[in-house]
Structure 1
Amino acid sequence: MKKDIDFSPVTGVKMAIAKEETASGTEWGVYIINLNMIELKNVLITSKGSGELHGEMKKTSTLRHMIGELGEQSVAKVESIDPEVFVLNNEFWVSYYILDQIFDKKFIFTSGSFDPGFMKMIPEIGLEGVLHA
């Protein structure tokens, strides 16, 4: 049962939503960043968005991603994201193992997260975006 599992606090793992300028225009992506000195195994990430849009409650589909291993001090692109969903709250639920210990954390990017004042250069990926620790 879930109550019997020891969920230690998550440290050294961050999520970022960042933009990249390409030949075809601006592309946005969601990234997971492992700052730990040990690899993460069986990384499961679910993503979904919800909130009010034009006076109506909206929900996106739930997407699931699996990364078998995320090396120490490395980054992986999880998914592309459409900027039209930035008006919603975007939630990323991350679970992973370090050795035999499971870790679990929810990262929420609120609709106000993408105001220009919150955008900054994210050195781990070399792109401008929003970082959530």
Structure 2
Amino acid sequence: MKKDIQMPKVTGVKLCIAKSINDLGESDWHVYLINKNLIELTNVMIVSKGYENKDPGARKTSTLRHMIEQVDGQSVAKVESISPEVFSFFNEFWVSYYIVNELFDKKFVIAPFQEFDLETIDEIDLLGRIAT
């Protein structure tokens, strides 16, 4: 049954964790959804969780769910705050959204990383890690 459902390929959408500096000079970490498409995304549902590894007894984070009604074309949406304590986990994000009346769905994963092992994310002009 599931194999009979044809899901279109997700293109032009990225997810990342990035660091910004607040007014007090402290690091703030957030998860961002980047829409590089020319068209808006609607009814965006993001389910996030973290886990050490696939072992049944491994530590896990809580599962969080976020709904964003609309992400305009070529724009960015801040999804959630994230704590550096979970950077040693695999951070997984299931993203589902509509373009016009077509449903898109993709799992993004950010592998464990160190707080200072960052890359430039051009779309938001911040340092962080991009999900694969």
Runs of at least 4 residues off by over 2 Å: 1-6, 114-117
**SS state at 2:19 partner:** strand
Cα distance in 2 between the residues matched to 1:44 and 1:78: 10
CA contact (8 A) 2:49 2:93 kept: yes
1:123 corresponds to which residue? 122
Report the TM-score, using the length of structure 2 for normalisation.
Answer: 0.89
Give the equivalent residue in structure 2 for 1:92: 93
TM-score (norm 1): 0.88
Larger fraction in helix: 1
Number of aligned residue pairs: give it: 128
Distance 1:41 1:2 in 2: 24
Partner AA of 1:6 in structure 2: Q
Structure 2 letter corresponding to 1:71 = D
> Which residue matches 2:45?
44
* Contact 2:49 2:63 survives alignment (8 Å): yes
* Cα deviation 1:66-109 (Å, max 9, x = unaligned): 00011000000000000000111100000000011100000011
Query: What is the rounded CA distance, in whole Å, between the counterparts of 1:115 and 1:62 in structure 2?
Result: 22
Q: Which runs of 5+ in 1 are unaligned?
A: none
Q: Among all aligned residue pairs of Structure 1 and Structure 2, give the percentage whose two residues are the same amino acid.
A: 54
When the two chains are superposed, the root-mean-square deviation of aligned CA atoms in Å is 1.7
